Structure 1
Amino acid sequence: MKMVFRWFGEGNDHVPLSYIKQIPGTTGIVWGLHDIEVGEKWPLDKILKVKNKAEQNGLNIDVVESVNVHEDIKLGRPTRDHYIENYKETLKELSKVGVKVICYNFMPVFDWIRSDLFKKLEDGSTALFYEKSKIENMDPTELVNDFLKNDEFTLPGWEPDRLGKLSELFDAYQGINEEDLWDNLKYFLEKILPIAEECDIKMAIHPDDPPWSVFGLPRIITNRQSIRKLLNLVDNPYNGISFCSGSLGANESNDLPAMVKEFGDRIYFAHIRNIKRYKNGDFIETSHRTSDGSIDIYEIVQAYHEIDYKWYVRPDHGRHIWEEESRPGYGLYDRALGIMYLWGIWDSLERIKGDV
């Protein structure tokens, strides 16, 4: 596996690239142009600036997260073709700097949902938390207002300009069900994948987070059956998955190691993180260590090892520890600890196999 680390860009991330380079076994950054409005073409000069900065620190830029999909594409509006053309042009520009994988999602309105960005754990650290009853009884406008108070760091998938039109977006989705969303995803993929193949860039969809309907919005990438449907929707090897153990693991019925083994040849990017689930439907993000949560991280890494996984992996959200001030879920310290835990499992499996 190839270990990478998410980075939000110079001036938008408190973690210097030189620190990322010091995390053992970490060879690249997972990046994006977060100052470009969703739906607009990414300019080559800004792409090259990230590439040059990364290479100065000995890191690659093979994985982009995310070239976000405009809501008009998800809604199937007549204007979607304009945004799809921009997406194609962005793919072509990214191919010029050697990008190999684009992580994207097809979640309506919100890329991910939590009720608390800094919920305290028993050890005194804080983490992202999902309180089911609170979300079910909350006006989404209240949630947006709470999240956007955190103006020191941008939140991926929570762009203020887009969320400023929240009521308009919810009105637009009133007539959209899951099958409509599937149809719109198919339309998008049929247009995009020939260009992705031409550019040799794998498209890797991220599962819905959490993997169920929230605020009445449709969700479609949620379990084993839906991933099978996705891969058959447009049967092309460039139609792949960003397999997120934390997102899919929020539903205890998802057998994550089995899914890794079934879909491994189409998993081009892996997010590995742990969560602790509660019987009432709540969950909180924990350290990566298996015993700290409800997800068997050892078995997941073992499944990747068994299929001889050679694509990209990153530690996903971490706790906020040692008084670090960071973007919610994206501190340096706990994610670096997560990387060492993942490498520890991988190296032990290599030793057992006899390769070390």
Structure 2
Amino acid sequence: MILTDFLPPQRDRSWDYARQAGVTHAIARCHPRDTGLPPPWDRDALRTVQRNFAAAGFTLLGLEGDEFDMRRIKLGLPGRDEDLALYCRLLANMGELGIGLLCYNFMATLGWCRTQTHVPTRGGALTNRFQLAALDATPVAAEEQVAEEKLWENYTYFLRAVLPAAEKAGVAMGLHPDDPPLSPLRGVGRIFTNPEAFARAMALSDSPAHRLTFCQANFRLMGCDLPATARRFAPRIAFVHFRDVAGTASDFTETFHDAGPTDMPAMLRLYHEIGFRGPIRVDHVPSLAGEEDLPHGYAYLGRLFALGYMKGILDASGIPYS
């Protein structure tokens, strides 16, 4: 496996912590609001980020998230063809620069969602929680809503437009589950909320570029047999997000990596057993003492703890990693 960390595209202390912990491969989002540069369909902008990582000792292995405004693509609005052309330029740039992974989602209007971000957990650390009952149920504006079947149409249209470019560029596109895996939320349909939806998505194309991101906490919240689901999709897994949650999709709390209900060592051994040799990252963590003002889920010390925990399991299990 390849140990990675999700790092901001502009250097901060997390870069130092990651390198000091032995991480040499970075995953980043290169949206202009994160980089202060043009979108990464501008090759020079993407190359600048890549060179900055390289100067700090990292290989920029992949991109994650919406790299520019995807609203027209996801909602199927006028102008989406122009945006899809830019998306294909992004993929071509990634191929030219040797950035071989794009972790993406197809959540329209509402993305990652939590209702509480300062929930006390072990020793006073703070973590994230989602409670459907606490979510503002007010529907979003009508023009921002989309029905599930319309979203499927838009997703199919998207794949037909971008997969040839991804395949030509040698970029694996890893579809991430909806987080949380519930539909609808505030009038917005969401489609990647269960394993059967992923099976339907994967059946849309047998392109080697058409893959998935196995975010194990989200799959757990779907109520499925987690090991069996990983085995089911093994040939299509491009990327693993390694974290845990306690609860159900409608009411869950993010846990420390060593304190949740999932057998985490067994999952790492399973990934190795099914032949996964790709990138993995520790994903969301609680915020430790003194980190209350850092981004929720991505504070420094919790990630160091999680990374050390994961490396310890890999070492004890004899699983090679880089």
TM-score, normalized by length of structure 1? 0.82
Question: What is aligned with 2:24?
Answer: 27
Give, in whole Å, the separation in 1 of the partners of 2:18 and 2:236.
Answer: 27
Question: What is aligned with 2:180?
Answer: 210
Question: What is aligned with 1:154?
Answer: none
- Whether contact under 8 Å (2:26, 2:58) holds in the other structure is yes
Structure 1 residue 33: Cα displacement: 1.6
Give, in whole Å, the separation in 1 of the partners of 2:118 and 2:44.
Answer: 36
Question: What is aligned with 2:4?
Answer: 4
Q: Deviation digits for residues 264-321 of structure 1, max 9, x if unmatched?
A: 221111111111116x9421111111xx123332232121011131111000111100
Give, in whole Å, the separation in 1 of the partners of 2:55 and 2:61.
Answer: 15
**2:270 is the alignment partner of 1:341:** no
**2:222 is the alignment partner of 1:222:** no
SS of 2:73 mapped into structure 1: helix
- Whether contact under 8 Å (1:305, 1:346) holds in the other structure is no
Q: Percent identity?
A: 29
Structure 1 residue 349: Cα displacement: 2.3
Aligned counterpart for 2:216 among listed residues 245, 261, 270: 245
Give, in whole Å, the separation in 1 of the partners of 2:102 and 2:178.
Answer: 16
SS of 2:277 mapped into structure 1: coil
Moved more, 52-61 or 192-201: 52-61
Give, in whole Å, the separation in 2 of the partners of 1:267 and 1:181.
Answer: 23
Equivalent runs, 1:231-310 vs 2, <5 Å: 231-251=202-222, 253-277=223-247, 281-289=250-258, 292-310=259-277
Structure 1 residue 16: Cα displacement: 4.2
Give, in whole Å, the separation in 2 of the partners of 1:87 and 1:114.
Answer: 28
Give, in whole Å, the separation in 2 of the partners of 1:6 and 1:126.
Answer: 20
SS of 2:199 mapped into structure 1: helix
- Whether contact under 8 Å (2:195, 2:219) holds in the other structure is no
Task: In structure 2, give the amino acid aligned to 1:183.
Answer: E
The structure-2 alpha-carbon separation of the partners of 1:23 and 1:41, relative to structure 1 and needing over 3 Å to count, comes to: closer
Q: Deviation digits for residues 41-86 of structure 1, max 9, x if unmatched?
A: 5322221221112112221101101235612111222321010001
- Whether contact under 8 Å (1:75, 1:173) holds in the other structure is yes
Question: What is aligned with 1:330?
Answer: 298
- Whether contact under 8 Å (2:30, 2:63) holds in the other structure is no
Q: Deviation digits for residues 121-168 of structure 1, max 9, x if unmatched?
A: 242000111122111x5437xxxxxxxxxxxxxxxxxxxxxxxxxx5x
- How many residue pairs get aligned? The number is 315
Give, in whole Å, the separation in 2 of the partners of 1:266 and 1:125.
Answer: 36
Give, in whole Å, the separation in 2 of the partners of 1:171 and 1:41.
Answer: 30
Equivalent runs, 1:95-244 vs 2, <5 Å: 95-135=95-135, 137-139=136-138, 167=140, 170-174=141-145, 176-213=146-183, 214-244=185-215
Give, in whole Å, the separation in 1 of the partners of 2:42 and 2:250.
Answer: 43
Structure 1 residue 36: Cα displacement: 5.3
Task: In structure 2, give the amino acid aligned to 1:321.
Answer: L
The structure-2 alpha-carbon separation of the partners of 1:314 and 1:76, relative to structure 1 and needing over 3 Å to count, comes to: same
Give, in whole Å, the separation in 2 of the partners of 1:121 and 1:272.
Answer: 19
Q: Deviation digits for residues 306-341 of structure 1, max 9, x if unmatched?
A: 113111100011110031241111111111211122
Task: In structure 1, give the amino acid aligned to 2:49.
Answer: V
**2:92 is the alignment partner of 1:92:** yes
Please give the root-mean-square deviation of Cα atoms over the aligned residues, in Å.
2.3
Question: What is aligned with 2:82?
Answer: 82
SS of 1:46 mapped into structure 2: helix
Give, in whole Å, the separation in 2 of the partners of 1:69 and 1:196.
Answer: 19
Alignment gaps of 5+ in structure 2: none
SS of 1:294 mapped into structure 2: coil
Give, in whole Å, the separation in 1 of the partners of 2:279 and 2:301.
Answer: 20
SS of 2:32 mapped into structure 1: coil
Task: In structure 1, give the amino acid aligned to 2:168.
Answer: E
TM-score, normalized by length of structure 2? 0.91
Q: Deviation digits for residues 199-253 of structure 1, max 9, x if unmatched?
A: 00011111000111122321111222111111101221211101111222223x2
SS of 1:233 mapped into structure 2: coil
Give, in whole Å, the separation in 2 of the partners of 1:23 and 1:43.
Answer: 32
The structure-2 alpha-carbon separation of the partners of 1:122 and 1:102, relative to structure 1 and needing over 3 Å to count, comes to: same
Question: What is aligned with 2:70?
Answer: 70
Question: What is aligned with 2:47?
Answer: 48
The structure-2 alpha-carbon separation of the partners of 1:16 and 1:224, relative to structure 1 and needing over 3 Å to count, comes to: closer
Question: What is aligned with 1:158?
Answer: none
Task: In structure 2, give the amino acid aligned to 1:19.
Answer: Y
